[in-house]
Structures are given as structure tokens and as C-alpha cells.
Structure 1
């Protein structure tokens, strides 16, 4: 789970656990400063009175958001004809997420058919006093926020809250157990604005320099090798080739990245070759998918320049 202003509790930051907060009696604010509406004409909260509304804040490169999509899209398909409206408020974390074409591609990639509001300047985000991706605000037919959920999980509880507001009986069953508590690595940023896990002895401040890796990489540290330019949001390979090395504790490894031209990464985990991954569009890529949550060391060889690394995330 991402927190834009870093107020998320440490445990939730590490593993993306869901935080559930009761909503005080509060009218839902209007959608504000929306750049573009996708999958819908412009909507207003006032115009949605009489409907049950789920406002879902997301960003398309957020792995925690991506893992919620199957649940949210299923709710929309099941209940859209029974009085539920879902509005996905796309609130960008990175500059590339402000581009309409990128968001349209993500909507198609994840089969999102409900209305999406592009909140490029975070005006609606601020109107809701939101801090997190993903975040879900459930609103009753009178326009009152009745529950708030931050992060992943609690899907059955959320669905039953939706059903109650629609006048439907609750579903029986138990929430599927989550494995996210076994993840032992936090999100790691490459850009200077939020960089704190770089192990290369060279400075991670803004600028271009030759990077090297330490002889031993501590857990939850990464190193750059080669000539890289550090920007505020990312690190860009400017040499002919380079490497990224990482010591992490998780079963799955993801990277938000992009490249000017298709760039195929050579990846080894604990010395074992993984399927190559070709990067170009600005999005999240899965670099390794395992089944155990032990410590792992990955080496990513980048064969050419103009490759941009934004974050590592884990699952």
C-alpha cells in the first residue's frame, strides 16, 4: 500500500495490509478538478444520490491496486444493475500516470469497465483527505460516507457492506487468507525524492555518475552498477549497459520501469536464470514469481541505455 504523505503505519507499508476505519457521519465531497472522465460522461456526487457509490482511489502502476482489480470489477458486474455505481479515481503517483493514453491502456489491460475519473492534480484526493493507494470509500444513497478501507483485503466484508446498502442479504463464508504478511521487504524507490535503500557507495543525489556494488548486499538494499542518472522520480541508465542488484525477502518481485525502445532484461534470482522480461511502456513489470518467502538476491542486467527504473515492489 502506498501512502503519498508517508503516514501509513510501518507494518501496512511493508506488506500492504488493509486498514479499516469507521467513517464518521460525513457527506461525500464532490469530484473536483477531474482532467478527464473515461468509460463515462462526467458524474457528480449530487447526481448519484439514490445510488450506492464506491469510490476507489488507485494508480495504475500500484501493485496493491492491481491486486484489488478482480474484486472491484466483479462487484461492478454483479451489482451495477442493482443500484451500485463504482467510480475509480485515478490519482497518479508518477508523472507518466498523468498521461491519458497510459491510463486508457491500463483500463483495457485490466478490463476496467466502470467510470474512471483522472484526478491528475489530486484535487478529489485532497477533497476526500485521502492518503493511500488503494483506498475505498463506500457511500450510501443519501450521499454519506459509511466506511473507509485502505489497502488490500477485507473483500467479503466490503461486498457485504455493499449488499446491505442495496438491501440484499449478506453472503456467507470466510475471507481467503492472505500471504502478504510474509513479505519482508518495503517498496523501494530509485528517484532522489524517496530513495533510502541504495547500497552503492556513490551518492544517490540528483546527477549522473558511475555506480558500483558493495561486496556484500544487505537485506532490503539495492545497488546500481554502471553509469546512471538519478532524477527525482527514477534512475536512468546512461551507459551502454548496466546492472541492478537487490537483496529482498518476498515470493514475487515487481518493478515499475520504462524504456525508450524495447529493452529485454536478463534476470537471475539466487544464481538461477529467470524468463527474460522486455520493458518499454511505463508500467509495472513482474520480474520473478516464486512460492517461498525466503531471502533472495536478484541481478538484473540491462543491455542498453535509456532504461528508467522507478520502484521495486513485492508480493
Structure 2
């Protein structure tokens, strides 16, 4: 069954015939991977024409001639998903090092409405330093044709045009590289920085947590969520791990929640090195300032790349924002985000 939802928790899946496990954005398990170059069931028998058929492309459109004799690595991703962002250093490194034998192609399949805007995707490519071709798949046509299961999804297509390997989720990069026809041991050094830094899986105990009512769980404010109407919420008397609440007046829609007054707050109890929040600007395009506190205090050295040590940040693009990167011991923490003015859009908490 086709399902494009990110999971509400962690899903451990077998990868590359059981050699590794990972946590993915999607609840569905990944398909098996063939390591011998044989075709894999449930993948398209002739994938290159599907990719090249009349669609919008950014960073140039490949041709059959430019792909002939090359290994093609296809990456299904979306620019606000942390699980899609953390593999980018590997994709850039492979694309640069193996340029003579490999072509990387991104398939941008959005989750949220704002990710369907080509101008916003184009800006994300610039900000993220992505110069390989990216095809826009806002209608999920390629996602369905390839039988993809989640973000990120990776397909390795051999020079004969057959899918040689498929995996879904982060990690397992050495296994992917073995399918790229790269010389043995010739592995680029990869060290992700900022939001692209590899997660601390050993100390990660919080799942992706949505704020829009379509996928919201573990909401703690008394009385529950009110759908699509402005309501004055009260903070929960207690906030267990991986629960969240609202205070002040908010409108909660299917994809996101919006503060309707100055000083409205959202809190989340989490256990992870990193905390991110997907945010959107107000509908009129203004910026929106906010302040983030950890356990009621300014974050100091534990601030993320999108806030300062005093906890101040600004929503000026529709994207993922890193609010917390803890530098010391990881423990259960409560993050509070207070918006200085109404109108911002709050989508989902993610962790690393």
C-alpha cells in the first residue's frame, strides 16, 4: 500500500540483506537490496526513461547521452526533512569524487505544502550546496513508479539501466558505496557539519513529533487540540518525556499550528543531542522572531545553528531550524519556544 507519511516513532528495518539497521522517516519497511547486479522485485525494469520523462528539473536536465555507461544514484528526498539532510555530505562527496563514472540525481518529493514551490526548492539547493540535477516530483508520480518507501530513499542503477540496489533511511553508506563501482577502499572522508552532522543514535530517545492535527500525538494541554479554530490553550500541569503542549491562543490546522497572539508558547519534553523544528513564515511573508529556552534558561553553549546563546531566533524562510545542540551530557530536557508576534507556522519537531 502506498504510504508517504513519515513515522511517528522509530522504525528499525533490515538493510542490505540484514547487515544493518536504521531509523527512518517512514513507518513502512525498506525493500531488500540485491548485491549481485540482478533486478530487484517491485522496482521499475527501465528506470532511466521514467526519470527523464517531461518533468521540471533544477540544476540542469540529464540526457540519455550524459547517463550512458554511468552508474546513476537516485535519491528521493525533501528539503525540510532532517533524515534527508544528513545524507547530503555523502551524496556531495560521491558526486565530486566519482564524477567520471557516477551521476547523482535528486528526486524532490515534498511532504509539506511549502515544499511544492519550485522557487523554495531552488533556494534550498543553493543554501545546501547541491549542484547535481534535481527533478521535482510534487505529484508523487516518480515515488509511486519507483515504489519508494520513505525519505531518504536510495536507488543505485547500473550502467545497463537496471536497479542494482535500493535502501530507505539513513546510514549504511559503505554498503551503498560498494554498489557505485568505486575502487575498493577508495572511500571519501565525510564529516557532516551543522544540521548535517550524523545523529547521536546511542542517546536518541525522542521520535519525530508533528504539531498539525493530522499526525499529532502526545499532546498534553488540558482538553486536547481544537481543529481549525483559534483557542486559548493552557500549559499541562506535567510534561512527560516526548509529550508537548501549547499555551496562549493558537490555531491548529492539519499540517501546522499558528500562534494567534504575542507570547504564545509551545513546549516539548525530549531526550536527544539535537532538537530541530520545521517552521514557516507568516502568510504575509513577514519574518517572525522567537525565543527558545531549555529548562527555563537561555541555551548558552547548547544553542543550535539557528538561535543565539540567549535563545533568540527568527523565522525568515520555510525550512527546518536547528534550535538545540547539546554539548554536554544528554538528559531529559524541556524546550520552550515563545513567539514574539503571531503568524508563524509550526510543523514538526525532529531530533538527532
Q: When the two structures are superposed, what TM-score results if normalisation uses the length of structure 1?
A: 0.89
Alpha-carbon separation, structure 1, partners of 2:123 and 2:187? 36
- The structure that is strand-richer by fraction is 1
- Shift in CA distance, 258/163, structure 1 to aligned 2, threshold 3 Å: same
Please say if residues 134 and 150 of structure 1, whose CA atoms lie closer than 8 Å, have aligned partners that are also in contact.
yes
Give the corresponding residue for 1:273: 298
Q: Aligned runs of 1:107-118 on 2, under 5 Å?
A: 107-118=125-136
Matched, 1:135 2:153: yes
Matched, 1:22 2:33: yes
Please say if residues 35 and 120 of structure 1, whose CA atoms lie closer than 8 Å, have aligned partners that are also in contact.
no
1:238 Cα offset (Å): 1.3
Give the corresponding residue for 2:51: 31
Q: When the two structures are superposed, what TM-score results if normalisation uses the length of structure 2?
A: 0.80
1:179 Cα offset (Å): 2.4
Deviations 1:239-287 (A, max 9, x none): 2330011101101110000122222211111232032121121000011
Structure 1: stretches of 5+ with no match in the other structure? none
Matched, 1:255 2:274: no
One of 201, 211, 214 as aligned partner of 1:193: 214
Alpha-carbon separation, structure 1, partners of 2:338 and 2:55? 38
Instruction: Judge which range, 203-212 or 234-243, deviates more.
Output: 203-212
Matched, 1:55 2:74: yes
Q: Aligned runs of 1:215-294 on 2, under 5 Å?
A: 215-260=237-282, 261-274=286-299, 275=308, 276-291=312-327, 292-294=329-331
Provide the secondary structure at the position in 2 that maps to 1:185.
Answer: coil
Alpha-carbon separation, structure 1, partners of 2:277 and 2:82? 9
Please say if residues 212 and 224 of structure 1, whose CA atoms lie closer than 8 Å, have aligned partners that are also in contact.
yes
Report the aligned-residue RMSD. Answer: 2.7
Provide the secondary structure at the position in 1 that maps to 2:276.
Answer: strand
1:49 Cα offset (Å): 4.2
Alpha-carbon separation, structure 2, partners of 1:170 and 1:133? 28
- Shift in CA distance, 95/146, structure 1 to aligned 2, threshold 3 Å: same
Alpha-carbon separation, structure 2, partners of 1:310 and 1:219? 19
Deviations 1:111-157 (A, max 9, x none): 00100001010100011111210111001011111111211112222
1:207 Cα offset (Å): 1.9
Deviations 1:219-247 (A, max 9, x none): 10110111111111000111233001110
Alpha-carbon separation, structure 2, partners of 1:252 and 1:8? 17
Structure 2: stretches of 5+ with no match in the other structure? 14-21, 192-197, 300-307
Deviations 1:21-54 (A, max 9, x none): 314614243127764100112556x973422100
Give the corresponding residue for 2:11: 11
Alpha-carbon separation, structure 1, partners of 2:8 and 2:164? 21
Instruction: Judge which range, 15-24 or 62-71, deviates more.
Output: 15-24
- Shift in CA distance, 217/178, structure 1 to aligned 2, threshold 3 Å: closer
Alpha-carbon separation, structure 2, partners of 1:197 and 1:72? 35
Alpha-carbon separation, structure 2, partners of 1:57 and 1:64? 11
1:308 Cα offset (Å): 0.7
One of 124, 130, 139 as aligned partner of 1:106: 124
Alpha-carbon separation, structure 2, partners of 1:34 and 1:8? 34
Please say if residues 288 and 314 of structure 2, whose CA atoms lie closer than 8 Å, have aligned partners that are also in contact.
yes
1:178 Cα offset (Å): 6.2
Please say if residues 33 and 123 of structure 1, whose CA atoms lie closer than 8 Å, have aligned partners that are also in contact.
no
Provide the secondary structure at the position in 1 that maps to 2:241.
Answer: coil
Instruction: Judge which range, 117-126 or 178-187, deviates more.
Output: 178-187
- Shift in CA distance, 223/53, structure 1 to aligned 2, threshold 3 Å: same
- Shift in CA distance, 131/74, structure 1 to aligned 2, threshold 3 Å: same
- Shift in CA distance, 50/130, structure 1 to aligned 2, threshold 3 Å: same
